[in-house]
Every structure is written in structure tokens, then in C-alpha cells.
């Protein structure tokens, strides 16, 4: 070896390159001016020979292999840096020319990451990830990743035979960010990050902000650039204008919850849009559409927080589905998980050897029931990551609502844990104070960015003020799933009617807190999976009574204050519970009773949308009046849904399999009443040929009502009455 060259070799630093343990490779690799000339060093383990091609010089310079691992060096006569490329001859004789990544200064600066590290970045996928860029006139891809405790990080892929020694990334001072611009790469290129972790060996990770991940098997992130023109041309302008104009207005919301991956096993996306429109739902809610690996978690163990899963066709296919829904008058909600991430080797788990995204304390980190790790909301970078993910789905995919899964597990440090296995907060309590602040920040930013899209919390406890204005101390959500109502009501409808009078409070208790939050009433996927049985199978009695009970249950949901949600298959009374690895039991619809049940549900949705009293006053007692919640012996509940214009519906529910002739309740208005809904009509699977005849109310004190209404109440049936024509009465209602 040339003496001058040998004397310039920094063998300890070269060893750091050889073992891919260097986090400042630009201090060694590339071109550096020395007192003896321009020193150029390159690491190419795949090369048998490397030549330098210096601009303006006709003769190539043979580089010397100074280390058998593939470390090459050359000393060029020059007192300044020169532009150059190098060619690599491989063992098979193939020669390829490259532009040296280490000939470029860092593209970003430490201050570029200030907002991200402070938890205020709203577009992390813009400053991180892999982006096509032109630097100093050279086209390539800029890679940036946050891995603060990593010993070193490399970009690997087919372009370097997954050899982490070739493209070591540069640490950007104390930001925890690593960067490298690689000339010659372009969109469509697969890559991963190879991370050396202190004391934990080497691992390969997908890019946390990947916009595309290769599929079957999931092996690599794919370079894509959101700054390029959108490949999908949206056609939902009228919907978006309408959504903006109707922001804040009282609207009907009845949601069809769908596992899109399971639906597409037998039906198409086009058929889904037609089906949801035909059934009369205002919205569709998709179980998580972000990329995942763990099939057992139904998509909730998220792998790609910025990536549409390959199972539904990728980004453009999902955009088209949202677009088609909008053009059919259907809003789109997606489930999103910000509570935890899976332990898949390629994902966020133990990302940099110190769990960049999770907690360091095992007592805080692991969820006790699932193989997942909870996010550490103290870290500004984690908050920026999650906030950016939510806003990406909202903005890039025109989403009308995001339902956040597992909110309770985020709010409580001891969620699902035994005493002594969790760490209290600074005040000794079990509240996750950082998660609380994250929710307030998320909702404030979300609302500022888009006033027309909903944020919904799946919160299963009595945490106060989940919904409402953040200024009043709430978390700021638009709606909260009413899990208490769901659990109570399903327990009641499963019960033998003989015992229902003893547990009638399960039906009526929700009225005590119905307006404490902005509620959505869910019959979701969680209640029809893992041995819990389908809604149909939960109902008491033989098959006929099960259908009767289901019609009664759905009518009660529609009439109860709150928005509505029903999981796919439940609308026709699928008997088998949901199996996430299979499609729906579409063959059920060949059965006349199932077909009638589906028709019933679609007509119920129409009834809901057509009667404003069922949805415009969902948030206060102005929209509800209890007639009788004390008829436990007969298991009959009656109440009124109303508005401030005098419109009203009288809703009566018989929870016993006994038809009640000449059944009487009190009503506030003297009128001729018309039955507009009877769950026992033959067309819906019941035995009644026609509705009750119109009935004129009679004067007479019933409780504190001045009028009475008498009619036949069907067994296990629900009956809804509407004023057809008011009549004069001498008496007036004597109510508070």
C-alpha cells in the first residue's frame, strides 16, 4: 500500500464501517481534503475492483482495497473537493457506475426536527421516510428515520444485497434522526432499515412512516413520494362541499361496521357500496385499514400507520372505495389504533434497542392480555408520529370520521393489570396523564384542521367528559361508544323473559346518564366474536322468538337517544358468530326469515332517517320523555321521542312473549294516533297481517298524563305511534 495512503488510514473508524457500527460515516467515507491530497474512501463489499471517475480527468483512478471486507481508498492530487463517480466491478465481471452517497452534505438540519421532537409535528411522513429528491442536480432518494438509541442505522435493499455496510446513515447531531441521500434510487424501490442496537444485535425494520409496503410476504417498505401528483383523481367534490355546509348541524347517523378484508373475500367493493346504500345506512365504518401482520388481532395490531393494507388493494383502491361511498351519499369512518403496537420483528417493537415508541419499564410496556406494547405518550416524537398518522388518513383519504380503538387502555395505567404490576402517575393515581394531554392535543388539532369530520372514542369506562369542548375540560371527542348500554341491553335480551322483570333496570338504567356524553350505541364486532355468539344467537327462545327479539332489540336501539352502529351480518340475523378468517354467511339470505330480517333492518333505517325526532335531539332531555319505566311485572317500557316543534313518536316495547290486548299508556296530547311501526308484521317475519288501527286518545288521568292510548301490544314486539291529527281536549297535561 502507498505509504502516504497508509498513513492517512484511520483504522479504528474503518473498523466501525466494516462492522456497520458507525453513526457518522461521512466523517470517513467520501472525499476529504488532507495535507497530502484528496482522500476518497468507499465501502463496497460486493466489489473486486473499484475505479474513480473524476470530472475533467480522462484517466480513471484505481482504488486500493485496504481491507479485505471491501474497504477501498485512493489519494488524488487535489487541494479541493472534486466531483466524481465510481464504478464497481463485481465477481461475475459486471461493472456498474455509482454516484457516491457520501459526496453529499446532509440535506436536513437539526432544527428541521424541532416540531417533531416537541410533539407538534403534523406531517411526520413528509420529513421522515423515503422521498425522491434532486440534490445538486442528482436524482435519488432521501431517507430519514428516527432511532435515537441506535448504535447505527443502514438503508438496505436489493440495490445493495441487504448489506448494511454499504449505506450507513448519518446521525443528525442529538436529534436521534439518521439521514442518507442515495443517488440513483427511485419510487418503487424496496428498502428496510438495518439497525444495530446496543447489546441487542442487529435487526431489520420497516420504515415507520411507509406509505407503501410490499406484500405477500411483507418484506420491505417501498419508496413512494406523497409530494408527487396524486395518482388518484377524486370525484367527491360535491360531497365535500355538502359536508362542510352541514358541519355542526344535527344529523342522523346510523353506521354499518364492516371488516373490509372479510367482505372482499366473497363480494366486491362496488357491491359493498350498493349494499350499504340499499340498506339505508348513513355511514360505513371499516375495521382498521392500515397494514398489519397479525391476523388474530383483526387488524388492530398495526404494522404500517401510514399504509393501506395490501388485503384491500392498496392506496388507490381504498381511495376509490371512499370516493364511491361519497358519491352514493355514504360517509366513511375508519378504525384507528393509537393505543398499542404489535411485537412483530419488522415493526415498531424494540425499534432502536430502547423501544423508541414504547416504555422502557416492563410494568408500563406490555399489555397483559395481548402480545402488544403500549405507546409512551410522554415522548414528543411519539405524539407527533400518532398525530401525523391520524391527519394523514383524514386529509389524504377524505375520511369522514375516525374511531379510536382502546381509549380506556390509553387512559388508565392499570388497565387490565393486577395490583403491583403497574406504575402510578406522579400523583399516585392510575390516570395516564400524558395520554390525556395527547387526546386533548389530537382533538384540538383535528378540529382545527377539519371541522367536518368526526372523532369517536371507544371508551369502555365511566371516564368523565370524553366528549364535548376541550375548553370545558373534556377530552374533546365528538362521540363516545356507549359500552355500558350495550353490555346491559344484551345481557337483558339474552335472559329468559320469566326473569326479566327482576332485571328491568338493565333496560332503563341508561336513561340516568343518556346525556352525560354524546353517545353512539354500538352493536359492534367485539360482541359477536371469540365465543360471544352472534346477536341472533344471543336472543332468547326458539328461532321464531329469536327473530322477534332481534327486531325488538334493533327498534329499541333506533329509538333510544344516541347515534347507531351495527356490525355486518347482524342486519339479517346471521346465526354463526363472526369468524375473522372467513366471509359472511351469505347463504343465510336464501332463508325466508333471514331475508325478511334484512328487509326489516333496511326499513328501520329509513324510519330513523325520516323521523327527525329520533336524531335531532340526541343530546338532551328536550328530545326524550319517559312515559313508564316502572312496568316491570309486564316487562313493558314506553317513552316519547320529541322535538321543540311539537313533533313526537310514542315508542312502546314489550319484552315478554305475551300479547297484551287493550294495553293502555298515558300520552300528553289529545289526538288520533297512527301506528307507524310494528315489529310483528308478517312482511318482517312476524304474524301480524296489518298494523293496529288508528286510535283516538281518551281523556283520563294516567300517572300525570291527561290522555290515555289503548291498543294491542304484540308479544316480544315494539310498537311506535305518531300523531295523525290533534283534537281538542278540555284537560291539559299536568307535568313539571
Active site residue ranges: 405, 458
Q: CA 28, 97, 9: angle at the middle one, nearest 5? A: 20
Q: Which among 192, 96, 188, 109 has a CA at the least distance from the CA of 143?
A: 192
Nearest to 21 by CA among 168, 175, 200: 168
SS (H, E, C) 286-340: ECCCEEECCHHHCCCCEEEEEEECHHHCCHHHHHHHHHHHHHCCCEEEEEEECCE
**CA neighbor of 559 nearest in space, from 463, 427, 648:** 648
Q: Provide DSSP, 701-720.
A: EETTEEEEEEEEEPTT-EEE
Cis status, amide bond into 711, omega within 30 of 0: no
CB 423 within 8 A of CB 413: yes
Write out 602-663 in H/E/C secondary structure.
HHHHHHHHHCHHHCCCCCCHHHEEEEEEEECCCCEEEEEEECCCCCEEEEEEECCCCCEEEE
- Exposure letters 213-228 (e unless 16+ CB within 10 A, then b): bbeeebebbbbbbbee
CA 704, 709, 715, 718 torsion: positive or negative? Answer: negative
Strand partners, 74: 40
Q: What share of the chain is helix, strand, coil (3-state, %, to 5)?
A: 30, 30, 40
- Report phi then psi at 407, rounded to 5: -60, -40
User: What is the distance, to the nearest Å, from the Cα of residue 731 to the centroid of all Cα atoms in its chain?
Assistant: 55
Phi (first) and psi of residue 700, to 5 degrees = 155, 135
Amino acid at each position: 500500500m502507498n505509504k502516504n495512503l497508509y498513513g492517512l488510514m484511520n483504522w479504528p473508524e474503518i473498523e466501525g464501517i466494516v462492522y456497520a457500527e458507525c453513526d457518522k460515516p461521512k466523517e470517513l467515507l467520501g472525499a476529504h481534503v488532507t495535507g497530502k491530497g484528496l482522500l476518497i474512501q468507499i465501502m463496497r463489499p460486493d466489489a473486486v475492483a473499484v475505479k474513480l471517475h473524476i470530472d475533467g480527468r480522462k484517466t480513471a483512478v484505481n482504488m486500493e482495497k485496504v481491507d479485505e471486507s471491501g474497504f477501498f481508498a485512493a489519494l488524488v492530487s487535489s487541494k479541493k473537493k472534486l466531483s466524481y463517480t465510481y464504478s464497481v466491478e463485481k465477481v461475475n465481471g459486471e461493472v456498474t457506475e455509482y454516484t457516491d452517497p457520501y459526496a453529499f452534505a446532509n440535506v436536513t438540519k437539526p432544527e428541521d426536527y424541532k416540531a417533531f421532537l416537541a410533539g407538534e409535528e403534523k406531517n411526520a411522513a413528509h420529513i421522515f421516510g423515503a422521498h425522491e429528491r434532486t440534490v445538486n442536480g442528482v436524482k435519488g432518494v432521501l431517507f430519514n428515520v428516527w432511532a435515537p438509541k441506535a448504535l447505527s442505522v443502514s438503508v438496505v435493499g436489493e440495490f445493495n444485497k441487504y448489506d448494511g455496510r454499504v449505506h450507513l446513515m448519518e446521525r443528525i447531531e442529538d436529534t436521534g434522526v439518521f439521514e442518507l441521500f442515495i443517488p440513483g434510487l427511485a419510487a418503487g424501490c424496496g428498502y428496510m432499515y438495518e439497525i444495530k442496537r446496543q447489546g441487542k444485535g442487529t435487526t431489520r425494520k420497516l420504515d415507520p412512516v411507509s406509505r407503501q409496503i410490499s406484500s405477500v410476504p411483507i418484506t420491505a417498505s417501498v419508496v413512494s413520494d406523497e409530494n408527487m401528483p396524486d395518482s388518484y383523481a377524486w370525484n367527491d367534490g360535491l360531497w365535500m362541499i355538502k359536508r362542510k355546509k352541514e358541519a355542526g348541524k344535527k344529523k342522523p347517523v346510523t353506521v354499518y361496521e364492516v371488516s373490509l378484508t372479510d367482505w372482499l373475500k366473497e363480494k366486491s367493493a362496488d357491491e359493498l357500496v350498493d349494499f350499504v346504500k340499499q340498506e339505508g345506512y348513513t355511514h360505513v365504518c371499516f375495521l382498521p385499514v392500515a397494514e398489519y401482520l397479525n391476523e388474530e388481532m383483526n387488524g388492530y395490531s398495526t404494522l404500517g400507520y401510514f399504509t393501506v393494507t395490501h388485503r384491500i388493494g392498496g392506496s388507490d383502491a381504498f381511495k376509490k372505495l371512499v370516493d364511491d361511498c361519497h358519491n352514493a351519499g355514504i360517509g366513511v369512518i375508519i378504525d384507528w389504533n393509537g393505543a398499542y403496537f404489535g411485537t412483530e420483528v419488522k415493526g415498531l417493537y424494540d425499534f432502536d434497542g430502547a423501544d423508541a415508541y414504547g416504555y422502557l419499564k416492563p410494568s408500563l410496556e406490555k399489555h397483559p392480555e395481548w402480545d402488544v406494547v403500549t405507546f409512551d405518550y410522554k415522548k414528543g416524537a411519539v405524539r407527533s408520529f400518532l398525530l401525523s398518522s391520524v391527519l394523514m388518513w383524514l386529509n389524504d383519504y377524505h375520511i369522514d370520521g375516525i374511531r379510536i380503538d382502546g381509549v380506556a387502555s390509553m387512559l388508565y395505567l392499570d388497565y387490565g393489570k393486577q395490583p403491583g404490576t403497574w406504575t402510578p402517575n406522579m400523583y399516585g393515581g392510575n390516570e395516564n396523564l400524558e395520554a390525556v394531554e395527547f387526546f386533548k392535543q389530537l382533538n384540538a388539532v383535528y378540529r382545527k384542521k377539519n371541522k367536518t369530520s368526526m372523532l369517536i372514542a371507544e371508551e369502555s369506562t365511566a371516564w368523565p367528559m370524553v366528549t364535548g369542548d376541550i375548553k370545558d375540560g373534556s377530552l374533546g371527542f365528538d362521540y363516545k361508544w356507549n359500552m355500558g348500554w350495550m353490555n346491559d341491553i344484551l345481557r337483558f335480551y339474552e335472559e329468559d323473559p320469566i326473569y326479566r322483570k327482576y332485571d328491568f333496570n338493565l333496560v332503563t338504567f341508561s336513561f340516568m346518564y343518556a346525556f352525560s356524553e354524546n353517545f353512539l350505541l354500538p352493536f359492534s364486532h367485539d360482541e359477536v366474536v371469540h365465543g360471544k355468539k352472534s346477536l341472533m344467537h344471543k336472543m332468547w327462545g326458539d328461532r321464531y322468538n329469536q327473530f322477534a327479539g332481534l327486531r325488538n332489540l334493533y327498534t329499541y336501539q333506533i329509538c333510544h337517544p344516541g347515534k347507531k352502529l351495527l356490525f355486518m351480518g347482524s342486519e339479517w340475523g346471521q346465526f354463526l358468530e363472526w369468524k375473522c378468517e372467513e366471509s359472511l354467511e351469505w347463504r343465510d339470505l336464501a332463508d325466508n326469515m333471514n331475508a325478511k330480517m334484512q328487509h326489516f333492518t333496511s326499513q328501520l333505517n329509513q324510519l330513523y332517517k325520516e323521523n327527525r325526532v329520533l336524531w335531532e335531539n340526541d343530546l338532551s332531555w328536550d328530545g326524550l320523555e319517559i312515559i313508564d319505566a316502572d312496568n316491570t311485572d309486564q316487562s313493558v317500557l314506553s317513552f316519547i321521542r320529541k322535538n321543540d316543534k311539537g313533533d313526537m313518536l310514542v315508542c312502546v316495547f314489550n319484552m315478554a312473549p305475551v300479547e297484551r290486548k287493550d294495553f293502555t299508556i298515558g300520552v300528553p296530547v289529545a289526538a288520533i294516533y297512527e301506528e307507524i311501526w310494528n315489529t310483528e308484521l308478517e312482511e318482517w317475519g312476524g304474524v301480524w297481517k296489518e298494523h293496529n288501527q288508528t286510535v283516538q286518545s281518551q281523556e283520563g288521568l294516567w300517572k300525570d298524563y291527561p290522555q290515555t292510548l289503548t291498543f294491542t301490544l304484540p308479544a316480544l314486539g315494539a310498537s311506535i305511534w305518531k300523531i295523525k291529527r290533534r283534537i281538542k281536549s278540555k284537560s291539559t297535561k299536568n307535568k313539571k
